Amino acid sequence: MENIRVDPQIDMENIRVDPQIDMENIRMDPQIDMENIRVDPQIDMENIRVDPQIDMENIRVDPQIDMENIRMDPQIDMENIRMDPQIDMENIRVDP
């Protein structure tokens, strides 16, 4: 978990992070609500940047999804998002 910065104001209740997850260079803003986040160990989360305005409550991401180089706009409402494992999300940019 090299270079992880987690602000003390982040609510990380019920977070389960597997030790096999590469979380290098993750930056999380303190305004992100990460309650009930479940992250599978096969997800490559390297260089993920999540804006503090994104609502990530109840996000479930399948381990087969490649989320490398994802950039998400802060206005996206991601509440209760479920993504199919066959989706290739490499280099996806989502605008408002």
Task: State how far the Cα of 74 lies from the Cα of 53, in Å rounded to an integer.
Answer: 5
Average pLDDT over residues 10-19: 64
pLDDT higher than threshold 60 for residue 3: no
8 A C-beta contact, residue 33 and residue 11 = yes
Global pTM?
Answer: 0.32
State phi, psi for 34 to the nearest 5 degrees. Answer: -105, 20
- Label residue 1 by pLDDT band (50, 70, 90): very low
**60-78 tens-digit pLDDT:** 666 666 666 566 666 666 6
